[in-house]
């Protein structure tokens, strides 16, 4: 046993040395809807060249929904994920050591809205029973947010069918075609639908006040997470990745909405730059300033997960195992 432990430890040290010495390390990053402002720090790190500066060859795969990018991590097709913090809690409860290493969003920035032509009868989330609700993907943060809102409104989480509509133009089309009755989504999708007069907003967590109104406190959103095993075998690569995201967060803290619009691909803007700029302006409050969630926020997410999942109510979760702050502390100086 001692010999196996020594050999395993030696292998990890050798891997770390290789990472540290390599000019460039390839890291496969999964994301669930890259054009969404929820994941803007990833696009900033990519487009500003921060990954390249840190010697990271970032291979980014967009899975259209956070639950799918988590599946990719578990299946081994990606090394790191930019996804919702609550996934780390769920995986810890299942005995899988998945940990966040950097907070990207300190607010969920999720908006719950109803189709405008139904606003007369669907006046609040309490009226969602039997209504088809579009989310990025079932099991993703958008789905959990609307289920939590329904429970808070006196419904059951299963009272409304959730329809996966992805994170791009397909989500806009789903509302415009009448395929769904309501939507739980993010900018720029929400901004586009609101500007076109297609939706009536019911819940808005793009602001701290809106987040507290729904969750009762702060609620960390997008994070960078990976398996603890990957952290142990690639600590230098992990540090490089976190350094790149830290640079992105620092840039976002002072960037104007116009500068952000200039940076991202034109396809992110649905053909309306002015609208995109407006959406960015509404979302800037949501990005993390420190890269580290508060204890109150982490507890709030744990409460959310326990509210939605009966199996989680008895699960013993040590929140300290869900977030490893060593890398972001070094990156932020």
Q: What is the distance in angstroms between the CA of the first residue and the CA of the last residue of the chain? A: 39
Q: What is the mean pLDDT of residues 131-135?
A: 98
Which pLDDT score, from 0 to 100, does residue 2 have? 47
Out of 9-13, 145-149, 210-214, 294-298, pick the least confident: 9-13
Is the pLDDT score of 29 beyond 70? yes
Which pLDDT score, from 0 to 100, does residue 329 have? 98
Residues 104, 244: Cα–Cα separation, whole Å: 12
Average pLDDT, the chain: 92
pLDDT > 90: percent of the chain: 84
Is residue 43 very low, low, confident or very high in pLDDT (cuts 50, 70, 90)?
very high
Which pLDDT score, from 0 to 100, does residue 6 have? 45
Question: Which are the contacts of 302, defined by CB distance < 8 A and separation ≥ 6?
Answer: 89, 317, 319
Is residue 168 very low, low, confident or very high in pLDDT (cuts 50, 70, 90)?
confident
pTM, to two decimals: 0.86
Order across the sheet with 80-84: list the strands: 56-62, 25-31, 80-84, 222-227, 98-103
Quote the longest CA-to-CA distance of the chain. Answer: 70
Which pLDDT score, from 0 to 100, does residue 3 have? 46
Record the tokens describing residue 165, joined without a space: 């509509």
Which DSSP string corresponds to 158-209? Answer: TSS-EEE--SSHHHHHHHHTTS-SEEEE-TTHHHHHHHTT-EEEEEE-SSHH
Cα torsion 118, 138, 29, 86 to 10°: value is 100
Q: Count CA within 13 A, CB hemisphere, residue 123.
A: 2
Fold of the 2-107+219-332 domain:
D-Maltodextrin-Binding Protein; domain 2 (3.40.190)
Fold of the 111-204 domain:
D-Maltodextrin-Binding Protein; domain 2 (3.40.190)
C-beta separation of 83 from 286 below 8 A: no
pLDDT > 70: percent of the chain: 93
Which pLDDT score, from 0 to 100, does residue 310 have? 85
Is the pLDDT score of 10 beyond 70? no
Residues 281, 272: Cα–Cα separation, whole Å: 15
Cα 97 to Cα 9, 76, 277, 291: the distances in Å are 18, 14, 39, 20
- Where along the chain do its domains lie? 2-107+219-332, 111-204
- Per residue in 209-221, pLDDT (tens digit) is 999 999 998 899 9
Which pLDDT score, from 0 to 100, does residue 22 have? 65
C-beta separation of 233 from 79 below 8 A: no
Which pLDDT score, from 0 to 100, does residue 140 have? 87
Is residue 139 very low, low, confident or very high in pLDDT (cuts 50, 70, 90)?
confident
Domains 2-107+219-332 and 111-204 share a fold: yes
Is residue 19 very low, low, confident or very high in pLDDT (cuts 50, 70, 90)?
low
Local structure of 143: helix, strand or coil? helix
What kind and span of H or E run contains 300? helix 295-308
Looking at per-residue pLDDT, the higher value among 204 and 218 belongs to: 204
Which pLDDT score, from 0 to 100, does residue 48 have? 98
Is residue 64 very low, low, confident or very high in pLDDT (cuts 50, 70, 90)?
confident
Q: What is the mean pLDDT of residues 308-323?
A: 91
């Amino acid at each position: 046993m001692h010999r196996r432990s020594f050999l395993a430890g030696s292998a990890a040290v050798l891997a770390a040395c290789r990472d540290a010495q390599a000019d460039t390390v390839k890291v496969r990053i999964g994301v669930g809807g890259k054009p969404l402002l929820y994941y803007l720090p990833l696009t900033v790190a990519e487009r500003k060249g921060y990954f390249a500066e840190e010697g990271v060859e970032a291979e980014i795969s967009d899975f259209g929904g956070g639950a799918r990018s988590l599946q990719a991590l578990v299946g081994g097709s990606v090394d790191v994920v930019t996804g919702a913090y609550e996934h780390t809690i769920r995986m810890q409860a299942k005995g899988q050591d998945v940990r966040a290493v950097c907070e990207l969003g300190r607010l969920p920035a999720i908006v719950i809205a109803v189709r405008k032509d139904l606003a007369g009868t669907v006046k609040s989330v309490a009226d969602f029973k039997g209504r088809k609700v579009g989310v990025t993907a079932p099991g993703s943060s958008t789905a959990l947010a609307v289920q939590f809102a329904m429970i808070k409104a006196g419904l059951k989480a299963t009272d409304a069918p959730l329809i996966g509509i992805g994170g791009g133009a397909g989500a806009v089309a789903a509302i415009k075609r009448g395929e769904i009755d309501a939507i739980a989504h993010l900018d720029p999708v929400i901004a586009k639908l609101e500007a076109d007069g297609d939706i009536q907003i019911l819940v808005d967590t793009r602001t701290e006040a809106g987040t507290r109104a729904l969750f009762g406190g702060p609620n960390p959103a997008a994070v960078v997470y990976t398996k603890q095993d990957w952290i142990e075998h690639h600590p230098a690569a992990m540090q490089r990745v976190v350094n790149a995201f830290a640079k992105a967060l620092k840039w976002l803290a002072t960037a104007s909405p116009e500068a952000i619009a200039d940076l991202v691909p034109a396809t992110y803007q649905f053909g309306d730059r002015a609208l995109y700029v407006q959406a960015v302006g509404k979302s800037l409050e949501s990005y993390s300033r420190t890269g580290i969630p508060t204890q109150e926020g982490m507890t709030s997410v744990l409460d959310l997960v326990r509210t939605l999942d009966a199996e989680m109510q008895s699960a013993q979760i040590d929140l300290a195992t869900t977030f490893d702050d060593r890398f972001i502390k070094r990156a932020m100086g």
